[in-house]
Structure 1
Amino acid sequence: MAADRSQHNVDMARNPDGVWIVHVPGVQAGQRYGYRVHGDWNPDAGMRFNPAKLLLDPYARAITAGVDYSGPILDHTAESNYLPDERDSFESVPLSVVVAPSPAPTPIQRRRPLSECVIYETHLKGFTNLHPSVPEHLRGTYSGLAYDAVIDYLVETGINTIELLPIHHFVSEPFIVGRGLTNYWGYNTLGFFAPHAAYSSVSTLGEQVEEFKRMVSKLHENDIEVILDVVYNHTAEGGHEGPTLSFRGLDHLGYYRLTNDLRNDYDVTGCGNSVDTSHPGVLNMIIDSMKYWVTEMGVDGFRFDLATTLIRNEQHHVDQNHEFKRRIAEDPAFDGIKMIAEPWDMGPYGYQVGAWGDGWSEWNDQYRNFMRDFWRGATSGVATLATRLSGSPDIFNHDGRGLHSSVNFITAHDGFTMRDLVTYDIKHNEANGENNRDGADDNRSWNCGWEGETDDPGINDFRHRQVKNMMATLILSSGVPMITAGDELGRTQGGNNNAYCQDSPLSWVHWDTLDSWGDLSELTSTLLKARREFAPLRATQFRNHFEVLDADGNGLGRYDLAWLDLWDGEMRDEQWHDPGRRNLGMYVSDADCAFLTLFNGAANDVLIRLPGEPWAKGYQVVATTAHRDELPESPIGPGQEFDLPGRSVTLLRCEVPSQAPKPIVDEFEEPLPAEETTATDEATATLAKLDEQEY
């Protein structure tokens, strides 16, 4: 196809294996092409072949643009979904592009285990579109994300893994376009091998591929891994009443799950169609796509949107032993690659949290729900708090799974930002054009006494404190923390909890909030630095109150994990069952160091007393969400009593020995005869040795 959209048709031949092929001489990089498929129009048999519709190559490495929704892009007439429309869609659809081979991106020096990762979920365009240091022509592009000032910010904050909202080429849904909006988030994939063309700063004839690779190289060179949020569960064609752009026109019965009458889509995604991974060719396409993004585009992992859809069998039943999972586990191309499931879909038995098994991590929505409730004062006792803080063992501690199984989050792209959780009691989605009917109503938010923004300094101070409480809890919990981009900057969407169609300042990160929310940014970077430097703050395996041993195997009298009542020592049964309790101490340690995190979810201060040895000989405040003058000056001695501020999180580093003290008697070469030893002599010798002892 030439620039004027003229076309030259070439017939393809079918191989014995069912694959259609043709060799076209003289084709070079940048050549645009598409498919027309001739076959039966028989919706009763699941066949909707219509050669009037120009179709994208499902394996296309680049795609030119979007869709003209006013054009003849439906395979059927306006009168009936089951009668073919014979108008040509050529002028209204995007085209596939031939892309020249190019080197893979720079690999990351060391692909870290997920337990060491801090995931930063961000929208590629929205993160840099208002960044003051990024040149205007690069903002919102692959090159913008790779810009030095952006990379420096990620590194200084402590982000080592970036999770990009969908960058597979996507288009908007017709109903969104009809409201004058766009699909901003990108969960409407049209090409599983093509980077989204609109994020290119150069052109869309293959340049987007090399620009994406340069971005990955730059991130890798700064020790930042790249995870893609991928949408293999449905496509942009929607239900059979939607546009025919690729898959439906090639093989409606093969690509999509259909109802028993084969006339309608069996939809477990809520998006009109569901990709059928029980079909071998479709499963091959998904695995091929994943391998392409790993081996040729350099990515380090995937987060699978509505992952349960991908493990449904021929009868649409959920199967945790699905071939999809087996293929991934057996393919060496995926060794060390992160696999993160959004472990649910909209269909029967779609909620599969905790069931994905070895090799998988999962979004933990139960963590999200509880932590929101805890900090707004809507929980009872602290038993569930301890469970969520320790990595949700009730959900994931089985079949040898580790703490990386739980991806902890309090916010994500879908829902309120962290600032909006403390600013709004109800959603405010009027800008979406659906009369505020869209978006979740179960937000578990609390506006701190006033709906929306306010100039009241008391309310604003309290809101800062509550956001810091949630951020600190997230970072200090066992498991993998996922931070939504901009939450550490106090980003707001004005109460919109479903900004999927808002490609506007409402959704973009505003970098000027760093001035007013600097306290939150500083706390975030301080805690992430501590998490990076000290192993007890990022454990890999579930902890079970095991005594910590020194290098010689001697017990140190303290534990890998303990829960302290903040007065007498460890929590007792009656305290665990106290529904009014709102404070808890989480003690974690290894042979080298220990930390005590103090949680107080109550509005009032509570008098506490820190324990002495073997827990600690002293304490140092590392970070707190309270005002610093609300706590005693560091260091804090064992047995010291003080008021723990209401609604606060405080991280203390504990002064502890790294090895067990040796018996004093072992250090005397020749003990005096018993009859010549006096109590005074023993005391003098012991004190002398204690003065020399190193702890």
Structure 2
Amino acid sequence: MKNKKSSPFPFGATLYDDGCNFSIHSPDNIVSLIIFTDSENQEYKLKTHDQIVYYTFIPNITSGTQYGFKTIDNDGHSRLLLDPYSHSLSKPLQYNSPLDTEQSWTLSKSIVVDHNFDWENDTAPNHPIEKTILFELHIKGFTQQCPHIAPQYQGKYLGLCQPDIIQFFKQQNITTLQLLPITSFVTESHLKENNLTNFWGYNSVCFMAPHPNYAEKDAVNELKHMVRELHKNDIEVILDVVFNHTAEGDHNGPCFHLKALDKNYYLHNNPQQYMNYTGCGNTLDLTHQASFTLVLDTLRHWVNEYHIDGFRFDLATTLGRDHENFSPHSGFFMAIAQDPILQKVKLIAEPWDIGPNGYQLGNYPDNWHECNDKFRDITKSYWLQQPNFAKNFATQLMGSRDIFSASRWPQKLPVNFISYHDGFTLQDLVSYNDKHNEANGENNRDGHSDNRSNNHGVEGDTNNTAIILLRDKQKRNLMISLLFSFGIPHLLAVDSLSHSQQGNNNAYCQDNPISWADWNLSHINDVFKQWLADIIAIRQQIMPDVIRAFSNENRNKNKITWSNANGTQITPAQWLNIDHFSLHIDLFNHDGELLYLINATDTSLTFNLPKSTKWSMVCDTSTQNIIVKDVNVSYIQHPHSLSVLYRAN
């Protein structure tokens, strides 16, 4: 069918007033277009000039039209494929293994989308990176049990922008939501066999299509509505994206689209097996132009059509690989750096995968902020296990400058965190010594065993008041260490509610109350929620200016002093056995001073304070209250606690 709008580009379904252009990259198979109607399915042959890209323009196609691409396998059977560029799916994608050609015709279909939407003059919040507070959450899990929103919105996109939920975000003083994957994904067959679900969503099918399960009716418009309302309240939205692999798995896995369309979408050992740098069966090859184009087009799509503010890249080392070799100068990084749309958004890397030399912390280019697992492990060890980690902990407080040079701040601040979606929640870190993943159906073999946690005498829940109070104090120690370190604080949203996963540190398949935020707070947990909100607000008044002072041309003129409790400076030899210290930061040109008093011992210590004038107390983790008082000359720091003091000159 000839039409002046018939074109090989852009890929996917592009809607016009008088019809729709369809285009697909398919060098391995000749494909035809299938349009689904109420009466009968219509098949259209596609044009091609190079036997690589197939395309056509069909008049009178409207938004909501369902379509797919048909190919014939070696046995002469016809298979229906999803469009890799699908902007929407007709229903949640489910299949029974093995996914044969006959079943392929019963699955979800691709949908033509009209992206017109009233954004009401939406403006991105664009928070400076030094003022960014990340709040990681799961769309469904965070609101599924929330009693403050109507049942039809619980667990949905629209649930995240209901007035009471937005008010909660604002009360907690966070700036940025980091959402677990919301692109279309599918549950693996081995989970279905055990009546489990891929809850987290790290098993992508169509990178541009919002997951339909989180919509009441229309995933595209409801997600846009969510982003618009969050932006109105000065809250950014970052997506966790998975471009390192697809849901098609290894050579035994299902075929949804890419496997049939182009074998070079993947890295191959041989024609029978895919390279597996991800642990998920296959690895997307970004040295292949079609894969590279798909990923870049997808990122621009989310920014242009959904006004997304940034991305967190799962197993990002894979994206910077030229087969086995990682490079910060790879085509992927260079393309984003020069892209006028993508260069403006926030970029966060999970800086590892499981391939050769996969751990690349600190090696990403400027404007890429990396998840700092060193901060997580060392900070947990210092407070919860207390081997001789004081020197390493001190390094983490100062921004892990052994890995992230201050000369590259703020365009390369580390993303510091204590808890993430994988691993223990904050409450479980102080309540369990061991993981308890039996519900996952793998005999507790899955999940990390190196949790660096401490149950403080009882495994799990307890009525022992002393243990409850000690756990609460340790939570405050961990949060103050996070919020007053140099970096971008990343908080797990359910930690503000002191949510427990019952010791499960790998709840990826638990679509149930194990993963759903518990909004019924005990008194002590309600007090912690308010304490955390207050301390974040104080952090926002102090730390951005301090970070900026270490990020400009005068950064080396700031004075840093490490001392014992008696006020004498710590020698290199003393760091080997020290169990307490103070950190005094005196900013250049009398722009302010910050003082940390850190006592990991079993006894109270009297710290002699620098100078003889008054300090303002920011917090003391030995109490649930935010202390507002001036301190002079000395201060008694209770066991296993820390204080932060400040003076504005």
TM-score (norm 1): 0.84
The correspondence for 1:587, drawn from 579, 582, 585, is 585
- How many pairs does the alignment contain? 613
Q: Would you say the 8 A contact 2:582–2:595 is kept in 1?
A: no
> Hey, what's the Cα distance between the residues in 2 that align with 1:51 and 1:468?
61
> Hey, what's the Cα distance between the residues in 2 that align with 1:103 and 1:547?
46
Q: Deviations over 1:490-541 (max 9, x none)?
A: 1100000000000111101111126431232222112211122225665146
Give the aligned partner of residue 73 of structure 1.
99
Q: Secondary structure at the match of 1:54?
A: strand
Give the aligned partner of residue 626 of structure 1.
622
Q: Deviations over 1:449-492 (max 9, x none)?
A: 11111111111111111111101111111000000011122110
Give the aligned partner of residue 82 of structure 1.
none
> Hey, what's the Cα distance between the residues in 1 that align with 2:402 and 2:68?
51
Distance 1:317 1:541, change over 3 A: farther
Distance 1:508 1:68, change over 3 A: closer
Q: Deviations over 1:187-207 (max 9, x none)?
A: 0001111111111112xxxx2
Q: Secondary structure at the match of 1:303?
A: strand
Give the aligned partner of residue 7 of structure 2.
none
The correspondence for 1:25, drawn from 49, 53, 59, is 59
Q: Would you say the 8 A contact 2:385–2:452 is kept in 1?
A: no
Q: Deviations over 1:596-640 (max 9, x none)?
A: 222222232112221215xxx102222221127999x93221x23
Higher share of residues assigned strand: 2
Matched, 1:346 2:372: no
Q: Would you say the 8 A contact 1:53–1:244 is kept in 2?
A: no
* Mapping 1:429-440, distance limit 5 Å: 429-440=437-448
Matched, 1:265 2:274: yes
Q: Shift of the alpha carbon at 1:395?
A: 0.4
Give the aligned partner of residue 607 of structure 1.
606
- Most deviating of 424-433 and 19-28: 19-28
Q: Would you say the 8 A contact 1:104–1:297 is kept in 2?
A: no
Matched, 1:215 2:226: yes
* Mapping 1:66-105, distance limit 5 Å: 66-70=92-96, 73-74=99-100, 87-103=101-117, 105=119
Q: Would you say the 8 A contact 2:146–2:519 is kept in 1?
A: yes
Matched, 1:53 2:79: yes
Q: Deviations over 1:128-176 (max 9, x none)?
A: 1111111000011111001111111111111101100001111111111
Q: Secondary structure at the match of 2:380?
A: helix
Flag structure 2 segments of 5+ consecutive residues without an equivalent: 1-34
> Hey, what's the Cα distance between the residues in 2 that align with 1:385 and 1:403?
23
The correspondence for 2:260, drawn from 235, 249, 273, is 249
Give the aligned partner of residue 123 of structure 2.
108
> Hey, what's the Cα distance between the residues in 2 that align with 1:547 and 1:414?
35
Distance 1:31 1:630, change over 3 A: closer
Residue 578 of structure 2 aligns with an amino acid whose one-letter code is G
Q: Would you say the 8 A contact 1:213–1:297 is kept in 2?
A: yes
- Most deviating of 332-341 and 361-370: 332-341
Matched, 1:138 2:153: yes
Q: Shift of the alpha carbon at 1:2?
A: 4.5
Give the aligned partner of residue 10 of structure 2.
none
Give the aligned partner of residue 19 of structure 2.
none
Q: Secondary structure at the match of 1:511?
A: coil
> Hey, what's the Cα distance between the residues in 1 that align with 2:421 and 2:264?
32
Distance 1:383 1:150, change over 3 A: same
* Mapping 1:233-244, distance limit 5 Å: 233-244=244-255
> Hey, what's the Cα distance between the residues in 2 that align with 1:230 and 1:484?
17
Distance 1:167 1:381, change over 3 A: closer
The correspondence for 1:125, drawn from 140, 149, 153, is 140
> Hey, what's the Cα distance between the residues in 2 that align with 1:61 and 1:545?
46
Q: Would you say the 8 A contact 2:382–2:390 is kept in 1?
A: no
Matched, 1:226 2:237: yes
> Hey, what's the Cα distance between the residues in 2 that align with 1:287 and 1:644?
52
* Mapping 1:287-306, distance limit 5 Å: 287-306=296-315
> Hey, what's the Cα distance between the residues in 1 that align with 2:294 and 2:582?
50
> Hey, what's the Cα distance between the residues in 2 that align with 1:23 and 1:109?
35
Q: Alignment RMSD, CA only?
A: 2.4
The correspondence for 2:211, drawn from 185, 196, 200, is 196
Distance 1:427 1:111, change over 3 A: same
Q: Shift of the alpha carbon at 1:71?
A: 6.4
* Mapping 1:499-648, distance limit 5 Å: 499-513=507-521, 515-535=523-543, 539-540=547-548, 542=550, 559=558, 561-575=560-574, 577-587=575-585, 589=587, 591-613=590-612, 617-627=613-623, 634-637=629-632, 639-640=633-634, 642-648=635-641
Give the aligned partner of residue 669 of structure 1.
none
Q: Shift of the alpha carbon at 1:560?
A: 5.0
Flag structure 1 segments of 5+ consecutive residues without an equivalent: 42-49, 75-86, 550-558, 658-695
Distance 1:495 1:99, change over 3 A: same
Distance 1:538 1:210, change over 3 A: farther
Q: Secondary structure at the match of 1:190?
A: coil
* Mapping 1:663-682, distance limit 5 Å: none
> Hey, what's the Cα distance between the residues in 1 that align with 2:316 and 2:375?
19
> Hey, what's the Cα distance between the residues in 2 that align with 1:628 and 1:164?
30
* Mapping 1:314-325, distance limit 5 Å: 315-325=323-333
Residue 258 of structure 1 aligns with an amino acid whose one-letter code is H
Distance 1:480 1:51, change over 3 A: farther
Q: Secondary structure at the match of 1:524?
A: helix
Q: Would you say the 8 A contact 1:422–1:448 is kept in 2?
A: yes
Give the aligned partner of residue 666 of structure 1.
none
> Hey, what's the Cα distance between the residues in 2 that align with 1:138 and 1:304?
28
Give the aligned partner of residue 151 of structure 1.
166
Give the aligned partner of residue 291 of structure 2.
282
Q: Would you say the 8 A contact 1:536–1:589 is kept in 2?
A: no
Q: Would you say the 8 A contact 2:125–2:231 is kept in 1?
A: no
> Hey, what's the Cα distance between the residues in 1 that align with 2:568 and 2:192?
61
Q: Would you say the 8 A contact 2:619–2:626 is kept in 1?
A: no
> Hey, what's the Cα distance between the residues in 2 that align with 1:129 and 1:5?
38
* Mapping 1:363-512, distance limit 5 Å: 363-380=371-388, 382-397=390-405, 400-402=408-410, 404-512=412-520
> Hey, what's the Cα distance between the residues in 1 that align with 2:625 and 2:89?
58
Identity of aligned residues (%): 35
> Hey, what's the Cα distance between the residues in 2 that align with 1:628 and 1:148?
28
Q: Kindly name which structure, 1 or 2, has the bigger radius of gyration based on alpha carbons.
A: 1
Q: Secondary structure at the match of 1:21?
A: strand
Q: Secondary structure at the match of 2:482?
A: helix
Q: Secondary structure at the match of 2:619?
A: strand
- Most deviating of 456-465 and 591-600: 591-600
Q: Would you say the 8 A contact 1:358–1:399 is kept in 2?
A: no
The correspondence for 2:199, drawn from 175, 184, 189, is 184
The correspondence for 2:45, drawn from 2, 11, 33, is 11
Residue 634 of structure 1 aligns with an amino acid whose one-letter code is K
Residue 109 of structure 2 aligns with an amino acid whose one-letter code is L
Q: Secondary structure at the match of 1:513?
A: coil
Q: Shift of the alpha carbon at 1:244?
A: 0.7
Distance 1:31 1:134, change over 3 A: same
Distance 1:100 1:562, change over 3 A: same
Q: Secondary structure at the match of 2:293?
A: helix
Q: Shift of the alpha carbon at 1:312?
A: 1.3
Q: Would you say the 8 A contact 1:308–1:343 is kept in 2?
A: yes
> Hey, what's the Cα distance between the residues in 2 that align with 1:536 and 1:569?
29
Q: Shift of the alpha carbon at 1:3?
A: 6.8
